Amino acid sequence: MPAPSNITPIQSNIGHWQERVDLAASFRWTHRLNLHEAVANHFSLAVNEDGSRFLMNPNQAHFSRIKASDLLLLDANEPNALDHPNAPDPTAWGLHGSIHRRCPHHRCVMHVHSVFATVLAALADSNLPPIDQNTATFFNRYVIDEGFGGLAFEAEGERCASALQDPRKQVMIMGNHGVLVMGNTVADTFNRLYYFERAAETYIRALQTGQPLRVLSDDIAEKTARELEEYPEQADKHLAELKLILDEEGSNYAS
């Protein structure tokens, strides 16, 4: 099949171009929302059937500068991945490599230390009660990691991956660390990341009032979560709109 007319010959020779463009846009918008932390966070996207080959941001690259052509193509089963030129960040490799190796149901993985998700992860009780529509989105759909063991090198990554075997659990609240968000596509995962940070902010700000919380019943929380999961095309349209904004601004993310 010929390349679409809006893709240059150079771009058509780089594999998984549309996936790269989507992932690059998600980096740019994560920076704009200030959900990133310096050059310490990382996103990845599986590009083969078993999930073992994946795209990921280059080592120590700032989200505001990442372009589609910059993304690394890695193999989770490559034992010497960290020995090659342009090797990935060791902690990114440890966490994302382990998940893509052991959890093929999680196609896209986004890890950040965003402010409100990290505040939630720092609480002794890191549960997110359903107190509004956004918090209800995640009802029974996250896991809490209680075993933080330092930087996410290989052993820590394997430990986290072992807790992500349930496809329904698409968020890990990483105690003492941050948040890990999974999904089927870049659009699906970025949308979930966006709404999780908004949900965490709502909860933390509600706690700050010192007033009793108005918590939804389990039945209504589950109903709301399912309705949002089935809401047509919201994630795809969210990312599409963000890419249009970047395009109108003349961003080089898709280069």
Backbone phi and psi for residue 142, each to the nearest 5 degrees, phi listed first:
-140, 160
Q: What percent of the chain has pLDDT over 90?
A: 85
Bridge partners of 56, per DSSP, are 44, 72
Please tell me the distance from the alpha carbon of residue 170 to that of residue 142, in angstroms, as a whole number: 6
Exposure on the CB side of residue 148, measured as CA atoms within 13 A: 14
Q: Where are the alpha helices (DSSP H) in 35-97?
A: 90-92
> What does the pLDDT read at residue 151?
66
Q: Where are the alpha helices (DSSP H) in the chain?
A: 9-12, 17-32, 90-92, 98-102, 115-122, 133-136, 154-162, 186-209, 218-229, 234-248
Contact 77/101 with Cβ under 8 angstroms? yes
Q: Where are the domains of the chain?
A: 15-248
pLDDT, one tens digit per residue, over 159-168 is 899 899 999 9
Fold assignment, 15-248: L-fuculose-1-phosphate Aldolase (3.40.225)
> What does the pLDDT read at residue 152?
59
pLDDT, one tens digit per residue, over 96-105 is 999 999 999 9
User: Which segments of the chain have a pLDDT < 50?
Assistant: 1-5, 9-10
| 3-class secondary-structure state, position 179 | strand
DSSP 4: P
Residues found in the chain? 255
> What does the pLDDT read at residue 85?
83
